[in-house]
Amino acid sequence: MPETVLGGHKVRELTFAQAIREALAEEMRRDSTVCIMGEDVAEAGTPFKVLSGLLEEFGKDRILDTPISEAGFTGLAVGAAMTGMRPVVDIMFGDFITLTMDQMVNQAAKVHYMSGGKWKVPMVMRTTMGATRRSAAQHSQSLHAWYCHVPGLKVVLPSTPYDAKGLLKAAIRDENPVVFFEDKMMYKMKGSVPEGDYTIPLGVADIKRVGEDISLIATSSMVQVALGAATMLEEIGISAEVIDPRTMWPLDEKTLIDSAKKTSRAIILDEGYERYGVTAELASVIATGAFYDLDAPVKRMGAMHVPIPFSPPLEDVTVPTEQTVFEEARKLCGK
Amino acid sequence: MTTATQPTTSQDVALWLRMYRQMVAIREFEGQVNELYTRALMPGLAHLYIGEEAIAVGVCEALERTDYITSTHRGHGHCLAKGASPDQMFAELLGKKAGYCKGKGGSMHIADPATGNLGANAIVCGSAGIATGAAFSAKHLGNGRVAVCFFGEGALGQGVLYEEMNLAQLFKLPVIYVCENNSYTEYTHYSECTAGDILMRAQAFGLEAVSVDGQDVRAVHQTAQRLVDRARSGGGPSFLLCNTYRYHGHHVGDINREYYRSKQEEHTWKTERDPILNMGKWLLEQKHADAPALERVQKELESEMKKAVEFAVAAPYPDVSEVNEDVYA
């Protein structure tokens, strides 16, 4: 892969999956209490091959293949995190987080509070999200909103290889349970990633594109959709700003509100179900924080309220696209 | 239980007297809880451990202070047996700042790192993962600790228990699953919701599984000690089934119980199978203690528990500004 040197750090083009793997490898070298557990994480390196090569370096004591027992190994990770380890659990498909709900919601999220701050749970759950992989209703959902609803958990949604590496390293070092959602459609996406150590603090949004007329607040793979729509909008004279909150909680409300105040219009883009979802929360933040500066109602765009269908033409209309975002933004700007 | 081939040592006698005392402590503690609850001084729910004292005491006496336990909604006995202090426990039960969890956990969530108590858990079987994970850490970090997971027989209905036993055996973890079968899953006899054989469920995963009379503290301790030693020396996980009886209702408010069990049944357990009465009788028979000494134990703990309650009643509530603290570490 081509390499460049920027600011003293070698910068390479890595895929999203490679950036995740590098973050894990660096953290495992740095801290012997970091271990990975999940289904087919060792020799197989997961079906997405995100973890390939880690077994060879770190061995079976730290890269642990588990039975197909999501609740079982997630619960085990909670106890391990409380007693000196920093486990990273791998939930192959985000749809399977339903099987881990009690362990994450009633155990991991509440241990610190219920114990009056005496026990903590420094663990990471990595899982996937994202439709359009033709995997049908039980392997395509984006269910991050469910964990956003629970006090005690942090929720991270990286949108670029650079962010993925820095945010995952921060998540592993965090003293709390962090759920890290990776859009499986982005694993092969390339981007610049510096070699070596850097972290991105949880709770800091990133302005992915500066604009003046409308704010596109987008998460995970929707950031790329928003950037594509912004290019289309530029051609008709609309300058779109693209903001990526990067973490759903903690949430950088100020950056979202400041952007909406500046542009006076906002669309929220997220691949989770639109109804009662992340888009509703972020729209509320903007509607409340930027109310007197808004020239249009805040628009939400998420997944349709249907189980994700298998048939490609059906699946494709369930999630926002560059074209649909472009059209909604144009309408909102009165053009 | 000593056998003819093992002569009694002074350490044995000290252990037996200590276990007697601990059982009385739990019963006196729970008596005060009952009192606090019925006098409406205690908010929330109270699930009394009375009748089951021999299990917590017998098992925890086999553990080191640094070993881990996880407990249940009926958890006061486990916390005390592992070394928790009654005044901080009562303070927690009353939602006071001086409590183990600053009043944020209450009766069903007492946790105490200083005694290896990973926390009581109000989800039935909720701590099976936590205990197994603590055993995972102990093995990975090589610190020689073991973990004990206490749960009632109601937890046998939860699938996650079997996931954890499978993982524990695959990873050869130093964990002991202690099933307290107090005969009643809330208001239903366990036989109505437990198919097949309980021990065989654990044996299916290759765990050593044994049952013991949960009313006999010496029997519980002896078996627990063997399983703890086995776990500590790398022998892997095991399952200890303790048959016992819950004297009171599922919670303090469960007064009219005739629809699920008879008064005669309760009477029989309380008079013929009581762990404290029977241990007391045995200590007297064996001349390891005399009646005034046992009475003294009773009086001392009665007074200690009363003082602990007074401390808790007088202690201040947390300031409302603390509601937001401790959500994140």
Report the complex ipTM.
Answer: 0.95
Angle made by CA atoms B27, B29, B35, in degrees to the nearest 5: 105
- Express each pLDDT in B260-316 by its tens digit: 999 999 999 999 999 999 999 999 999 999 999 999 999 999 999 999 999 999 999
Provide the pLDDT for residue A236. 97
Minimum distance, in Å, between the CA of residue B308 and any CA atom of chain A: 20
Is residue A218 situated within a structural domain?
A: yes
Is residue B56 situated within a structural domain?
A: yes
Report how many Cβ contacts below 8 Å link chain A to chain B.
151
Tell me, yes or no, whether A174 and A210 share the same domain: no
Partner residues linked to A273 by β-bridges: A303
Q: How does residue B4 score in pLDDT terms, banded at 50, 70 and 90?
A: low
Q: Which of A33, A60, A76 is the best residue to mutate to test the B interface, defined by the most B CB atoms within 10 Å of its own CB?
A: A76
CATH code of the domain containing B155: 3.40.50.970
A83, A85, A151 ranked by CB distance to B327: nearest: A151
Minimum distance, in Å, between the CA of residue B121 and any CA atom of chain A: 8
User: Domain total for chain A?
Assistant: 2
Provide the pLDDT for residue A335. 87
Is residue B327 situated within a structural domain?
A: no
User: Domain total for chain B?
Assistant: 1
A114, A121, A152 ranked by CB distance to B101: nearest: A114
> What letter represents residue B241's amino acid?
L
Q: What is the span of the domain harbouring residue B211?
A: 10-315
Residues of A in contact with B89 (CB under 8 A): none
Is residue A199 situated within a structural domain?
A: no
Which of A159, A194, A229 finishes a domain? A194
- Active-site residue list of A: 139
Residues of B in contact with A64 (CB under 8 A): 171
Closest CA to A268 of A232, A233, A220, A211: A220
Provide the pLDDT for residue A1. 44
Q: Which helix (H) or strand (E) holds B80?
A: helix B76-81
Stretch B224-238: mean pLDDT, rounded?
98
Subunit contact B133:A107, Cβ cutoff 8 A: no
Which of A194, A216, A235 finishes a domain? A194
CATH code of the domain containing A170: 3.40.50.970
Is residue A258 situated within a structural domain?
A: yes
Q: What is the span of the domain harbouring residue A323?
A: 206-332
Angle made by CA atoms B26, B30, B33, in degrees to the nearest 5: 145
Residues of B in contact with A63 (CB under 8 A): none
Sign of CA dihedral B131, B136, B137, B139: positive
pTM of the model: 0.96
Provide the pLDDT for residue A156. 98
- Express each pLDDT in A198-256 by its tens digit: 999 999 999 999 999 999 999 999 999 999 999 999 999 999 999 999 999 999 999 99
Is residue B291 situated within a structural domain?
A: yes
Is residue B84 situated within a structural domain?
A: yes
Provide the pLDDT for residue A7. 64
Residue ranges, chain A, pLDDT below 70: 1-7
- Which residue reads 């819950």 in tokens? B246
Minimum distance, in Å, between the CA of residue B237 and any CA atom of chain A: 14
- Express each pLDDT in B43-99 by its tens digit: 998 999 999 999 999 999 999 999 999 999 999 999 999 999 999 999 999 999 999
A35, A106, A117 ranked by CB distance to B326: nearest: A117
Is residue B325 situated within a structural domain?
A: no
Q: Report the b/e string of B200-222 with b at 16+ CB within 10 A.
A: ebbeebebbbbebbbbbbbbbbe
Residues A122 and A212 sit within 8 Å (Cβ to Cβ): no
